Structure formats: C-alpha cells, structure tokens
Amino acid sequence: MALVGLFACLGVAQTAGEPRRIPPGTRIDRLVVDKSDHRMKAFRGETLVQEYEVAVGRGGLGPKRWEGDMHTPEGRYRIDRRHRSRQFLRFLHVSYPNREDRQRYRQLSAEGTVPDDAGIGSAIGVHGQPQMVGGGLAGVLGLNWTAGCIAVRDREILDLYQAVTENARIEITP
C-alpha cells in the first residue's frame, strides 16, 4: 500500500514533456474537471494521483443545455460505462443528463429556447484525441474544441481506461 502511495506521488511530480502515467495497479474513483482552467484531477479516495490538461466543448463556459450546443456539462455525474470508439481511441461515458440537466432542459424547452429538433443529448464522455490524420486544432489540449466532451492525450486515456473504477464519480465545474 505504501508503494502505491509512493508511485502515486511520483506520478504527479513528473516533469513537463514526459508522458503522464498512472502507476500500474492504481485505481481511480473520482475525477474533477475544471473547465475554465482546462485541468482534470484524478483521485483515489482523497489522494491526488494524477493531473491532466484537457480540452472541453467549444461552446464555452456554462452548463450543457441541449444536444448540439457544444457545451460540456457541469455538475456531478458517474462514469457509467466504457467502450472503444471509431472516432476516439477510448471513451469513458459520463452519466449526463442528471436531474438538474433534465430540469434545465424542460425549462428551456418551455421558454422556447431549445431548437425544435434538439434533444437533451447523452453521448458525453472523457476520450482521447481524434483518430484521423491532420486533425488540426482538434488534437490540441487546453483549447475548447470538443462537441461537449472532455479530451486528454491518447496515452492518458489508455491509462485512465484501465484505472478508472466502475461507477467512478466525475465532477465538472465551470
């Protein structure tokens, strides 16, 4: 157990330019995303294991309102499933929408703000970089380029895909 803690501390203290790695066997049960700072922290209990630079939705700050608004949701969710993706290397699905998201969507729909053909959406996740040649800015982290998801480097999503526990919490803040 002490060895896992030591490796976790070493993982956070990596120098710039080195691949960010989660020590083998480490389990992550909570992710915290700060959209405005383009950072995501990975925790085991209360212990910070790793920190990542992320890209978020190009819709800017503010919560996701409907499918296609390009906003990354804000709130408390779970990583409720994982899968391989043709578009991205790996995909950790976020349990969006939650109760608050559904209430917001109903209110905006009642006000006539939601486009007629827009549902609430559901395909939100943490994923790697686009699996295409010449992705342009779509591979740059620290910028808002996703359609509402949270993106990390490919090597990082491979580590997260292995380390994130079933039903891990994810908190997304403005």
Residue 44's pLDDT is what? 98
Query: Which ranges in 28-118 belong to alpha helices (H)?
Result: 99-111
Residue 155: per-residue pLDDT = 93
Q: CA quadruple 167, 29, 128, 101: dihedral positive or negative?
A: positive
Residue 140: predicted pLDDT: 66
Q: Which residue is it, tokens 């408390």? A: 76
Q: What is the pLDDT of residue 10?
A: 32
Under 8 Å between Cβ of 47 and 68: no
Pair 88, 128: CB distance under 8 Å: yes
Q: What is the pLDDT of residue 138?
A: 55
CA distance 82 to 104: 26
- pLDDT (mean) for 22-28: 94
Amino acid identity, position 89: L
CA distance 27 to 170: 14
| Stretch (H or E) spanning 150 | strand 150-151
Checking if the pLDDT of 66 tops 90, the result is yes
| Full set of structural domains in the chain with CATH | 27-173 (2.40.440.10)
Task: State the Cα–Cα distance between residues 115 and 132, nearest whole angstrom.
Answer: 30
Residue-wise pLDDT for 96-109, tens only, equals 999 999 999 999 99
For the chain, what percent of residues have pLDDT higher than 90? Answer: 73
pTM for this predicted structure: 0.85
Average confidence score pLDDT of the chain:
87
How far is C-alpha 116 from the chain's CA centre?
28
- What does the pLDDT look like over 131-155, one tens digit per residue? 765 555 455 677 899 999 999 999 9
Q: What is the pLDDT of residue 86?
A: 85
